[in-house]
Amino acid sequence: MIRSVFIVIFVLLIAILMLCGIASWRSEKTIGRSVGLFCFSLIPPVLGNMIIVGATTENMASVGCYIYYIGMNLVMYTLINFTNKYCIRQNDTDKKAGIVPDWIKYILVIDAVQVFMNIVFKHAFVLQEIEAYGKPYFIMEALPGQIVHRVVCYGAMAMIMIVFIIRSIQASRLHRERYIVILISMMIGTFWQTYYIFSRTPIDRSMIGFAVLGFLIFYFSIHYRPLRLLDSMLADIVNDTTVAVFLYEPEGKCIWINESAKKLTGIKGNDLEGASMALRDLIGETANILEMNETETEIIRQINEDELSFMIARNSFFDGSGKKTGIICEGQRYNGRETTHRGRDVRFQS
């Protein structure tokens, strides 16, 4: 039963990886084909494990082992290609700086050949029959050729992770997430694989971790946009601008103001109601401004002996269904008796 469950899981993983690979290959992004090849390369080791799990004869299990081990060489090869494109910086004077060297790929090819030659020389691995989950199961006994294979693959993965660590440190806060998440998924898959090797459990569950790595690389390379961080950065920009910004709900309740708005209204702290009242004292009823039809209007107010003018421009925002979700207005405050500007921009958004 357990073996059947894993076979179903592996079939689903292969189908999803195939879809991710096709979508990446068709993507207009320059990195799309590198992502697609990596997703496709994950299919052989997953398929090999599925064959091993379902094998009832030694020959069938051997076929699964060759597909699995050589497939891991292919995974490392395509992961290097992906890393070299994903982690390159546009302003690098040396485009090879901090990137996995190409000679590692040649070693991976040679290693794949030596693993395949196990058919003749029997130097990499042999299979031993055991009983697992009530049925015969063929487990691999590592020989020197398999040890070399592991050193090559682990070495390639270590170099790749070093590149991602360097990029995670060098990247700005806006882009750091896309490196760190992939790095963590690589580490989880590698540690999971190491546990499988030393525990000698019958079924290699680490392939699930590597498949998840493929999904994450597909998402972060093709579809990911750091919206949360962008929102945070834009909020910081709006908060630091010299323009006074007032954020209103559609019902007209003030829910946020920036530092310039506090200075304009003379409000300290987060007294939003007080800021809204102070704004009404300056320009009149804000509801009239939020509901006005004109894209630009001038408001003239007599404050003591000063005549203050506010030239306000407004625009409306709509959601995907065409429903109004916000209004933003901006304007300049200046003294009507002076020819030089001495006020602030004022923006209203609801």
pLDDT digits (tens, 9 = 90+) for 278-324: 777 776 665 566 665 555 666 666 666 666 666 555 555 566 666 65
Return the pLDDT at 15. Answer: 97
Per the model's pLDDT, the better-predicted residue between 56 and 349 turns out to be 56
Phi then psi dihedrals of residue 47, to 5 deg: -65, -45
Under the banding of pLDDT at 50, 70 and 90, the label for residue 255 is confident
Residue appearing with tokens 């292919």: 74
Return the pLDDT at 339. Answer: 35
Under the banding of pLDDT at 50, 70 and 90, the label for residue 46 is very high
Cα(50)–Cα(34) distance, rounded to whole angstroms? Answer: 25
Tokens of 310: 């506010």
Q: Phi-psi category of 252—alpha, beta or left, where left has phi over 0 and alpha has psi -120 to 50?
A: left
Task: Report which secondary-structure segment, H or E, holds 136.
Answer: strand 135-142
Instruction: Inform me whether the pLDDT recorded for 139 exceeds 70.
Output: yes
Return the pLDDT at 275. Answer: 79
Under the banding of pLDDT at 50, 70 and 90, the label for residue 257 is confident
Instruction: Inform me whether the pLDDT recorded for 117 exceeds 60.
Output: yes
Percent of the chain clearing pLDDT 90 (strictly above): 51
Under the banding of pLDDT at 50, 70 and 90, the label for residue 171 is confident
C-alpha distance from residue 207 to each of 31, 63, 213, 244 (Å)? 24, 17, 10, 54
Instruction: Inform me whether the pLDDT recorded for 138 exceeds 60.
Output: yes
Task: Judge contact between 193 and 116, C-beta under 8 A.
Answer: no
Residue type, 130: I
Return the pLDDT at 126. Answer: 96
Helix pair angle (2-26, 206-218), 10° resolution: 20
Q: Which residues contact 181 (CB under 8 A, 6 or more apart)?
A: 216, 220
Return the pLDDT at 93. Answer: 47
Under the banding of pLDDT at 50, 70 and 90, the label for residue 265 is confident
DSSP, res 219: I
Instruction: Inform me whether the pLDDT recorded for 331 exceeds 90.
Output: no
Per the model's pLDDT, the better-predicted residue between 123 and 231 turns out to be 123
Return the pLDDT at 252. Answer: 66
Return the pLDDT at 291. Answer: 62
Cα(100)–Cα(204) distance, rounded to whole angstroms? Answer: 27
